Amino acid sequence: MNYAVNNQIVLSLEPQGPIAPYLDAYSSSLVAQGYQPHYIHQQVWLAACFSQWLKQTRVKLRGITSTHAELYLRYRYRHLRPRRGDASGLRSLIDFLCLQGAIAAQKVAVHRLTPVERCAKAYEEYLRDARALAKATIINYVPFIRDFLSDCFGSGEVTLSHLDAGDVVRFVQRQAPRLHMKRAKLMTSALRSFLNYARYRGDVTLDLAAAVPIVPNWSMTSIPRAIGSDQTRELLASIDRRTAMGRRDYAVLLLLARLGLRSGEVAFLNLDDIDWNVGRLSVSGKSGERSDLPLSPEVGKAIAAYLRRGRPQSTSRRVFLRTKAPNCGFQSACGVGSIVRHSLERAGIQAPTKGAHQFRHALACEMLRRGASLSEIGQLLGHHHPQTTKIYAKVDLKALRTLAVPWPRGVR
């Protein structure tokens, strides 16, 4: 006799065991997250089998833990062919039961930090709490410090008072040749920051930050790598806006090309950031400061088309959601970068790079050609320092020609 779960999933037998009463709600939660019917059927069937096994092993509902899921998978793999997604499916089931209050919250095994990890963690907390540095800076600095401490102390105790200038110099000499020039400079900046922190704590009495070698990194050695205006038009025209994914990608690319937003600013854009009445967009920049930008009719129509006929139903407040379940926002800026990369590949466009930042460069270069000042460009792009915008002066060939010194005795 067949048994229906949530009026959608049909099982050959009526589910039994402690989880059986929750299968309807579990199926509904998977539907709400946007999973496909075939996947939902697999997960509900897996949950029903797990529930039957729990009954046979006499495990009560409140006694279910993630350990039981691991034991069941071992039992299952001895009798059935392993199937991809079973482990993650049972983890999702356990999480669902916890949210429902059916079982106790799972205790996460506490990872014992090594001496190096403890020291690096303390430094990370100092950067975040005492210095209030941007998250991106902390993410870039801490791995370098972890490598430095591992290089000096290995798996033993970290005794910062034993550090000397030779340790610092040797580490930089070994690491710098392996890194890009800018990464090497970032590494030395992280080292100086950490050694100043160690001196501030009193663990180091000498000014070891002064011993960090200087890595050459001349300012503005290259020109911005901007995608051409013709390539941008070709790329936008190649997007199939008849599909939900196409409407999303088109709106994302327009935000990059017309407003010069960073990939992270697009990825983390919320519905509340759009003021449709006045045509304004509120964007959270790199330092967390918010800036208001005009929402042009072209960009506004593209976003509206996606929201009305492309965005999946979701409780998320993010504007742009993943096309695959679960229906949620991007976890990082990499999601927007992936849209750019795949769009360029599908269109067969050989752009200067595969990243999203080239649209930002292109907008600045176009504004410069139309007579905008560097100050106006910096204001639109959200630059906090004029030096950041000065690199675009290198693409203003017309202005640069006026500075060129005539060649002695003319040109042959």
For residue 35, give the nearest of 81, 96, 76 by alpha carbon: 96
Q: Is the pLDDT of residue 193 over 90?
A: yes
String of DSSP letters for 55-78: HHTT--GGG--HHHHHHHHHHHHH
- b (16+ CB within 10 A) / e for 330-367: beebebbbebbbebbeebebebeeebbbbbbbbbbbbb
Q: Which residue has the higher pLDDT, 324 or 157?
A: 157
Q: Is 385 a catalytic residue?
A: no
Look at 31-40, 153-162, 268-277, 383-392 and tell me which has the smallest mean pLDDT: 383-392
Set 76, 248, 357, 361: catalytic member: 357
Is 262 among the residues known to form the active site?
A: yes
User: Average pLDDT, stretch 329-339?
Assistant: 90
For the question of residue 357 being annotated catalytic, the response is yes
> Are 23 and 48 contacting, i.e. CB atoms less than 8 angstroms apart?
yes
Signed CA dihedral, 353, 359, 360, 364: sign only: positive
The more confidently predicted of residues 108 and 200 is 200
CB atoms within 10 A of CB 46: 20
* Contact in structure between 123 and 194 (CB atoms under 8 Å): yes
Res. 392: pLDDT tops 70 = no
264-312 residue pLDDT tens: 889 999 999 999 999 999 887 766 667 788 899 999 999 999 999 999 9
- 193 and 141 in contact (C-beta within 8 Å)? yes
Q: What is the pLDDT of residue 331?
A: 86
Q: Which of 128, 183, 199, 286 is catalytic?
A: 286
Tell which phi-psi region holds residue 333, choosing left (phi > 0), alpha (psi between -120 and 50) or beta.
alpha
Percent of the chain with pLDDT over 70: 84
Quote the pLDDT of residue 109: 59
d(C-alpha 91, C-alpha 122), whole Å:
32
So what's the pLDDT on residue 403? 42
Summary mean pLDDT of the chain: 85
Choose, from 262, 311, 322, 361, the residue flagged as catalytic: 262
**Section 384-408 average pLDDT:** 52
Using an 8 Å Cβ cutoff, are 396 and 368 in contact? yes
Q: What confidence category does residue 231 fall into, taking pLDDT thresholds of 50, 70 and 90?
A: very high
pLDDT at 121 over 90: yes
In the annotation, is 79 catalytic? no
pLDDT grade, residue 187 (50/70/90)? very high
Q: Which of 146, 247, 360, 361 is catalytic?
A: 360
Q: How far is CA 199 from CA 195, 206, 378, in A?
A: 6, 7, 37
pLDDT digits (tens, 9 = 90+) for 195-204: 999 999 999 9
Q: Angle 334-347/229-238 helices, nearest 10 degrees?
A: 90
